[in-house]
Chains A and B, each alone.
Chain A
Amino acid sequence: MVVLELEESSLLLDEKLLRFMDQLELLEEKRAALNSLIEQGWFSMAKARYSMGNKRVSALQYASEIEPLVCVHARTLDNGEVDFCTERSKQKARDEVGKEARSIEDIGPQEEGVRRRNKPKNNIPEKKEGEEASSEKAPEVTPIRKSDQNPQQDPLKWFGILVPQTLKQAQSSFTQVIELSAEIATLQTAILNSRQELKQCRKDKPILQEVSATRLEKLTD
């Protein structure tokens, strides 16, 4: 029985070792891809900087308020490994909703032909032309909406309205890097977990070997 357990333990150890080696190989591949993508991103950024100017692509252009567009979900599995996956927010949908709301207000029928330029603030919520007022005031309202949208705006807009294609390519490269980073983080935790399991198996194996040896001695006696 002990001999069988020893054999099973050896097979398990071999299996874990092979799995560990496979994980290391996969990590090396993903690392190479990550490094290559990062370098590509830097190269595109350098080309954008060349066409736009040194200071135009730098930390000076960061917005004063930034909201993250991508987050990572970490899920701990039963075996102790952690699975990381990224989620990107649908920032475009929000812009489109904003545009639709504005366009509805613009298209809405005007009840009165008279336009008041300087309206008292009390009248605005009471009247039905409140919608008109907001549509009339659309140009004034827009800056407020812009500041609401600013934190979640596309970071490309920090660098200007018309940015070169190279900067968009840089953004695309770094977007892929972010997704790959989550995969590498998952692999790293898996590798450390495999290492722990291997360590444990290697500790158990000599104990089983000793027990098996003493039982064999008893049988021969």
Chain B
Amino acid sequence: MSARGKLIAVIGDEDTCTGFLLGGVGELNKNRKPNFLVVEKETSVAEIEETFKSFLARSDIGIVLINQFIAEMIRHAIDGHLESIPAVLEIPSKEHPYDASKDSILRRARGMFCAEDFR
């Protein structure tokens, strides 16, 4: 790959991670930490938040994909991320369909209008 591009990180349940790894986004070796986290029932919120923040701190990650139900657990951390890179995308999971009203980006975009603006 010319001029080494950035990675796509994934925080999701097993099926989500397996799917995206099948697509070729995964990186796993002894020298660097993996760019994905498989969230299971036993995975703590602290671990998820720590992993999310570590992805934001890495300069080699361009996009972070996260299941929306996991994003809800660390909503405060996602709302606090205001930079353009890495971009955070909330995606549905098998048991939790995508809800636009919960998406951080759309909530920020929606919140700019009030009744007076339309007079």
**Interface residue ranges, A against B (CB under 8 Å):** 20, 24, 27-28, 31, 34-35, 38-39, 41-42, 45, 57-59, 62-74, 76, 80-82, 84, 87-89, 151, 155-156, 167, 170-171, 173-175, 177-178, 181-182, 184-185, 188-189, 191-192, 195, 198-199, 202
Contacts and interface: CB of A to CB of B under 8 A. Distances in A.
Nearest to A175: B23
B25 interface: yes
A189 B14 CA distance: 28
| Dominant SS among interface residues on chain B | mixed
B100 interface: yes
A167 B23 CA distance: 11
| Dominant SS among interface residues on chain A | helix
A155 B24 contact: yes
11 contacts: A38-B91, A45-B19, A69-B24, A71-B4, A71-B7, A87-B1, A174-B22, A192-B105, A195-B109, A199-B112, A202-B117
B98 A71 contact: no
A105 B112 CA distance: 67
Interface residues of B, number: 47
A20 B17 CA distance: 33
Contacts of A198: 112
B1 A189 contact: no
Given A73-B6, A81-B84, 14 more contacts: A58-B14, A66-B26, A67-B29, A68-B27, A71-B5, A73-B3, A82-B85, A87-B1, A155-B23, A174-B22, A178-B23, A185-B87, A188-B87, A195-B112
